[in-house]
């Protein structure tokens, strides 16, 4: 029996729910973090892969970049019933690396076509999947948000000097597979253990338009498609034909909504100041139920002989929960300034407000989220190539943002197993990146 329990625990001990997009919430690079992600019309390097693929054509030089991000949550869940058996779960410190590459084609396509590729890789793992019970208090957007591999690819075409369009994809990977365990009860051992997991790429569409109607004025429109990962893992434990246990786990995780972003940026050339404004519409009303779907089928000749049949089967085959989320509109503002006579320095700041898509969790679920006010600042430092391989400079960008989650109080009523609570806090994000154009 202990072996059977161990097999069940192996299925249920995978960690790390992920919703929304790490670039959307925390930024792609040091520059994007410092400007609060207001780059739909202001991206000029490989980060255009996420913010607006059409902007890949804006610079004539090849660009390479790499960086790291760190997310430090400082959030709380204050419970009236501190001794409740249903404990809360707080997000953990998280970090990751990113790489980016943008390549403008030459020849007949010179200054007209550019391609790009980007990768985000979390520290210590490629994908982390977790299925927390929906009644357990948890921060929906920040619970291990960065724990997923993301691949970005795009291509852009500029038919005329003032207009370009681009198309791309964000790639995740569905996890499928299973485990078959043959039990030898007499010797308390497994006779056979077969485990198979498979990662199948799944992609969502991205696209964008970029206009330059006047010198210094840029307008961008971008679309990022809905994406998610379907996690399926059946486990079969058997003891010959006498007894069998089939556990099926299915879950939808790593879900991101459809997003449409409109951006405007303007450069005041006299003082070398870039101002950027974005509005992002996110279709959170389509959010699926992220809770794990479990079913247990106990069978075999022994069970059938006792006439139990399906009497011992357990299933969570109930209609998916209605999340009740609302679509959101997020305004973002960013600024970048090059001080006079300091052409080696860039100073940046930004702000955005993200209203929560989640209703007050007073029913059967406890997916917590708050209205978020995000302040950011950053700096860029331009250096000559220390190896003298190129005459083009290297730029190091640093960014910091702090997210203020306004306190939210939930009155769930007497007798509720979770109890009344309030939640909020801060989330700190740090980013550093280095890029080179040549």
pLDDT tens figures, 169-181: 988 765 566 656 5
Q: In Å, what is the CA distance from 136 to each residue of 23, 86, 105, 228, 367? A: 27, 6, 52, 22, 8
Percent of the chain's residues with pLDDT above 70 = 76
Q: Is residue 234 a contact partner of residue 245, using CB atoms and an 8 Å limit? A: no
Paired strand residues for 298: 245
pLDDT band at 190 (very low <50, low <70, confident <90, very high): low
pLDDT band at 367 (very low <50, low <70, confident <90, very high): confident
How many domains does the chain divide into? Answer: 1
Q: Is residue 55 a contact partner of residue 104, using CB atoms and an 8 Å limit? A: no
pLDDT for res 144: 54
Give the list of residues 6+ apart from residue 353 with CB closer than 8 angstroms, or none. 330, 331, 371, 372, 373, 374
| DSSP code at position 187 | G
pLDDT for res 8: 44
Highest mean pLDDT among 147-156, 225-234, 290-299: 147-156
pLDDT band at 400 (very low <50, low <70, confident <90, very high): very high
Provide mean pLDDT across the span 314-326: 72
pLDDT higher for 28 or 130? 28
Q: How far apart are CA 254 and CA 19, in angstroms?
A: 5
Residue 52 has pLDDT above 90, yes or no: yes
The CA-CA-CA angle for residues 343, 37, 74, to 5°, reads 110
pLDDT for res 339: 94
pLDDT band at 30 (very low <50, low <70, confident <90, very high): very high
Q: Is 310 helix (H, G, I), strand (E, B) or coil?
A: helix
DSSP 38-98: --TTT--STTHHHH-GGGGGS-SS-EEEEEEEEEEEEEEEEES-TT-SS--BPPPPEEEEE
Q: What is the CATH number of the domain that holds 183?
A: 2.40.160.60
The radius of gyration computed from the CA coordinates of the chain, to the nearest angstrom, equals: 25
pLDDT for res 145: 53
Provide mean pLDDT across the span 72-95: 84
Range of the domain at 42: 2-437
pTM for this prediction: 0.82
pLDDT band at 300 (very low <50, low <70, confident <90, very high): low
Lowest mean pLDDT among 21-30, 33-42, 348-357: 21-30
What's the token pair of residue 414?
A: 């007497």
Q: Is 2 helix (H, G, I), strand (E, B) or coil?
A: helix
């Amino acid at each position: 029996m202990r072996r059977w329990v161990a097999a069940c625990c192996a299925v249920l001990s995978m960690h790390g729910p992920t919703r929304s997009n790490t670039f959307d919430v925390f930024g792609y690079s040091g520059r994007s973090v410092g400007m609060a992600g207001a780059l739909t019309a202001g991206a000029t390097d490989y980060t255009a892969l996420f913010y607006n693929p059409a902007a890949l054509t804006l610079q004539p030089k090849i660009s390479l970049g790499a960086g790291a991000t760190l997310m430090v949550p400082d959030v709380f869940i204050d419970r009236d019933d501190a001794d409740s058996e249903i404990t809360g779960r707080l997000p953990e410190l998280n970090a990751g690396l990113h790489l980016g590459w943008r390549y403008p084609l030459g020849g007949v396509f010179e200054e007209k076509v550019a391609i790009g590729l980007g990768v985000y890789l979390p520290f210590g793992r490629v994908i982390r999947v977790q299925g927390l019970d929906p009644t357990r208090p948890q921060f929906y957007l920040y619970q291990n948000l960065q724990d997923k591999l993301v691949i970005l690819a795009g291509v852009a075409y500029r038919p005329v000097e003032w207009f370009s369009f681009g198309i791309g994809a964000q790639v995740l990977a569905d996890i499928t597979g299973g485990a078959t365990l043959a039990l030898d009860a007499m010797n308390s051992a497994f006779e056979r253990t077969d485990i198979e997991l498979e990662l199948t790429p799944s992609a969502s569409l991205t696209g964008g338009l970029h206009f330059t109607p006047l010198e210094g004025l840029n307008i961008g429109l971008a679309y990022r498609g809905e994406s998610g990962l379907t996690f399926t893992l059946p486990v079969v434990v058997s003891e010959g034909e006498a007894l069998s246990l089939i556990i099926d786990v299915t879950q939808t995780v790593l879900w991101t909504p459809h997003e449409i972003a409109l951006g405007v940026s303007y450069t005041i050339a006299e003082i070398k100041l870039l101002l950027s404004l974005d509005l992002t519409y996110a279709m959170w009303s389509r959010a699926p139920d992220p809770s794990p779907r479990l079913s247990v089928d106990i069978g075999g000749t022994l069970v059938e002989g006792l006439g139990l049949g399906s009497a011992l089967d357990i299933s969570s085959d109930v209609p998916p929960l209605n999340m009740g989320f609302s679509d959101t509109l997020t305004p973002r503002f960013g600024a970048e300034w090059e001080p006079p006579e300091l052409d080696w320095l860039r100073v940046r700041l930004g702000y955005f407000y993200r209203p929560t898509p989640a209703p007050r969790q007073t029913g059967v679920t406890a997916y917590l989220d708050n209205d978020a006010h995000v302040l950011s600042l950053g700096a860029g430092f331009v250096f000559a190539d220390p190896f003298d391989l190129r005459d083009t400079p290297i730029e190091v960008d640093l960014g910091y943002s702090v997210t203020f989650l306004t306190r939210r109080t939930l009155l769930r009523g007497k007798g509720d197993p979770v109890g009344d609570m309030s939640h909020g806090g801060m989330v700190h994000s740090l980013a550093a990146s280095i890029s080179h154009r040549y």
